């Protein structure tokens, strides 16, 4: 008999290019409304790609105290605001206990990119004073630490930095920590604010960004679109949530992670397939139990082919009955925050029994998913959903959620 603790999701919060809040993200993902817009970066004359999924009117002072705003980078501000929404939802039925048995695990691929860019420019170019808080602002654990300090979470607090899998691995580690009995509650998720002149230019020269539209799994796709944002999710042991009368949103049922141990940038379908199987096994699900997969789906030629091969290997003939989509054309590829943002969408899909679409899809590519949810959302039965994250460095993560009972 399986006696491990079940883990439930009781609160979710988001900051994305669609604006502040889970509702704005989900309505955009469900309706196909994209947060991608024109981007004009300062301090660069070399910008070639003209769009990104960015927050162009973000004002942290409307949500956070001045002392916090002055001592944090944009990525930590995103995470704090997302955590506020998650706490509010988790506390809707009863106060959320936050104490020595509450952890905080929030991933980031880069950390304080804006502070780093600004301070390097100050040192090398403008010869102006360096901000004394540069180091506390740039460290990747700043988001987790500020959430811990704000709410008094005195359990384990740390950051996971594994590129595009950071958010998903953070959530998976929180799941494992609660199952082990070392903590009862955990803030998990990811945050990223990497759209700076130097970082954006670095992605341009890598030649993986589209100059037109991001079209995952579609014939004619030519690259990804960068995004920024955060998602913070509150997970609890089911018995802890029940004891305080909290109503779960979903069950965080499974987690799988693997390493390709291959190329630093080229994905390996075998490693990704192994990761998906691990998540299914951990959740005690069969492929036929899954109704929806939020794919990693970056829109690059190789990634979409590799992920298709991985899904076909993991699901076998059942892949024909699974609804697969990528929501990255909506919120952009937010790197370390992507997995957490996409899990929020998967939970909303599970809740509403609606598979959101892959927008901008124009024509089938015989090497890709033959039946993606293309352009229009699909109402269907979704007993369980998966969210995939496959990162540079060959780091794979997959999360499984099921309906709360």
Residues assigned a catalytic role: 164, 296, 333
Among 373, 303, 55, 5, smallest CA distance to 176 is for 5
Residue 380 contacts residue 319 (beta carbons within 8 Å):
no
Among 347, 220, 235, 358, smallest CA distance to 296 is for 358
Tell me the backbone φ, ψ of residue 103, rounded to 5 degrees.
-105, 165
In degrees, to the nearest 5, what angle opens at C-alpha 178 toward C-alphas 174 and 184? 110
What are the DSSP calls for 23-34, one per residue? HHHHHHHHHT--
> CA-CA distance, 314 to 384, in Å (whole number)?
15
Cβ atoms within 10 Å of 150's Cβ, excluding its own: 17
> CA-CA distance, 204 to 208, in Å (whole number)?
7
Distances (CA, A) of 212 to 2, 249, 262: 50, 37, 31
């Amino acid at each position: 008999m399986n006696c491990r603790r079940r883990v439930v999701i009781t609160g979710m919060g988001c900051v994305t290019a669609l604006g502040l809040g889970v509702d704005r993200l989900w309505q955009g993902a469900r309706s196909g409304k994209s947060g991608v817009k024109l981007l004009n970066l300062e301090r660069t004359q070399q910008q070639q790609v003209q769009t990104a999924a960015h927050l162009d009117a973000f004002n942290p002072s409307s949500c956070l105290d001045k002392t916090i705003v002055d001592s944090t980078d944009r990525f930590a501000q995103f995470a704090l605001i997302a955590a506020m929404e998650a706490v509010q939802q988790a506390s809707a039925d009863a106060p959320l206990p936050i104490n020595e048995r509450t952890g905080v695990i929030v991933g980031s691929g880069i950390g304080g990119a804006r502070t780093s860019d600004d301070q390097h420019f100050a040192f090398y170019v403008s010869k102006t004073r360096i901000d004394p808080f540069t180091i506390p602002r740039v460290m990747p654990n700043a988001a987790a630490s500020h959430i811990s300090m704000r709410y008094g979470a005195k359990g384990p607090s740390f950051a996971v930095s594994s590129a595009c899998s950071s958010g998903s691995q953070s959530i998976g580690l929180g799941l494992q920590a609660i199952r082990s009995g070392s903590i009862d509650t955990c803030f998990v998720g990811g945050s990223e604010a990497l759209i700076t002149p130097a970082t954006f230019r670095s992605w341009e020269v890598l030649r993986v960004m589209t100059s037109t539209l991001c079209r995952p799994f579609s014939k004619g796709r030519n690259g990804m679109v960068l995004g920024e944002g955060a998602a913070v999710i509150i997970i609890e042991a089911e018995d802890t949530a029940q004891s305080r009368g909290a109503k779960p949103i979903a069950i965080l049922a499974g987690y799988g992670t693997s390493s390709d141990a291959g190329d630093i940038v080229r994905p390996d379908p075998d490693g990704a397939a192994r990761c998906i199987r691990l998540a299914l096994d951990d959740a005690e699900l069969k492929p036929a139990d899954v109704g929806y997969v939020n794919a990693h789906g970056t829109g690059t030629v190789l990634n979409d082919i590799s992920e298709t091969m991985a899904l076909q290997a993991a699901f076998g003939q059942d892949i024909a009955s699974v609804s697969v989509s990528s929501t990255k054309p909506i919120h952009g590829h937010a790197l370390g925050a992507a997995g957490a943002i996409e899990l929020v969408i998967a939970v909303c899909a599970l809740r509403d029994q609606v598979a959101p679409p892959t927008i901008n899809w124009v024509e089938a590519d015989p090497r890709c998913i033959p039946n993606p949810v293309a352009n229009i959302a699909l109402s269907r039965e979704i007993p369980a959903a998966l969210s995939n994250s496959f990162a540079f460095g060959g780091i794979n993560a997959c999360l499984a959620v099921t309906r709360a009972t």
